[in-house]
Amino acid sequence: MSEQELVRGCLAGDESSYEELFNRYQARALRTAYALTGDRSEAEDAKQEGFVQAFKTIHRLAPGHEFGPWLYRSVVWAARNRARKARRWREAFSRSAAAADGTGASGIDDLDLRGALVDALRGLPADQREVLVLRFYLDLPEAEVAAIVGCALGTVKSRAARGLRRLASSPGLAWRRPNLEESVHA
């Protein structure tokens, strides 16, 4: 069944269409949220809230448009909101969670999962992080990224450039090509 048919099914109240869309997108939505938040538990919440919001407003999705960017927009917003709310308690929460049973908040040790790139992403300003994840992880066109994060096309480009430069200077990132580092800093 095509995505457009699934969207039409959702609009008609067909729960199997909701489920199929969820199954198609949940992994990418979760990973996107994880890249944005750096926290498994927060990512799960952002994914959930993103889906709920995307489904609640699916009637506003223009005919012919893809569901993915519609969903990612909601996930990005959910991640932003969660990060804002979580900033104050995250550390204490993690400590108490670890004290409870030695695992992270979701029962999975986030530190085991989180790699150097996600760590480096957490060090970026949120606006640069969003652009990098949407543009290079999800492979969305710049115009789509601009629509999702709510900025101009040129801003997407500049944020991507600044974010990549900062990432390239992050220590311990194995994905960098040694010969590229010099040109980036040139």
Partner 1 sequence: MRDELSQDLAVLGREFGAALRAELALVAPGAGGWAPVRARVVQPVRITSAGFRGGRRPRWRHQRMALVAAAALTAAALAGGIALASSARSLILRPHPAQSAPTVSQPAQQTDLRTAEATAGFHILRVTDYPRARLVKVETLPPSVTEQGVSVAAPSGVRLTYMLSGQNVIVGEFRSDGSASGATVFGGDRQGALETVDGHQTYVTYSDTGQVTGMMWATAEASVVVGFGGPGQPRSLAVEFVEHLR
According to CB under 8 A, which residues from 12 to 41 bind partner 1?
A: 13, 15, 18-19, 22-23, 26-27, 30-31, 34-35, 40-41
Question: Within 91-110, which residues bind partner 1 (CB under 8 A)?
Answer: 92-93, 96-97, 99-101, 103, 105-107
Question: Within 129-148, which residues bind partner 1 (CB under 8 A)?
Answer: 132-133, 135-137, 139
Picking from 15, 126, 14, 26, the residue whose alpha carbon sits closest to that of residue 67 is 26
Q: CB of residue 64 vs partner 1: minimum separation in angstroms? A: 23
For residue 156, the tally of other CB atoms under 10 A from its CB is 25
Q: CB of residue 55 vs partner 1: minimum separation in angstroms? A: 5
User: Does residue number 88 form part of the binding site for partner 1 (CB under 8 A)?
Assistant: yes
Q: CB of residue 28 vs partner 1: minimum separation in angstroms? A: 9
Q: Could you give the C-alpha distances from 1 to 5, 8, 41, 62, 153, in angstroms and in order?
A: 6, 11, 32, 19, 33
User: Does residue number 169 form part of the binding site for partner 1 (CB under 8 A)?
Assistant: no
Q: How far apart are alpha carbons 140 and 146 in whole angstroms? A: 10
Which region, judged by CB under 8 A, interacts with partner 1, from 50-58, 59-67, 68-76, 143-151?
A: 50-58
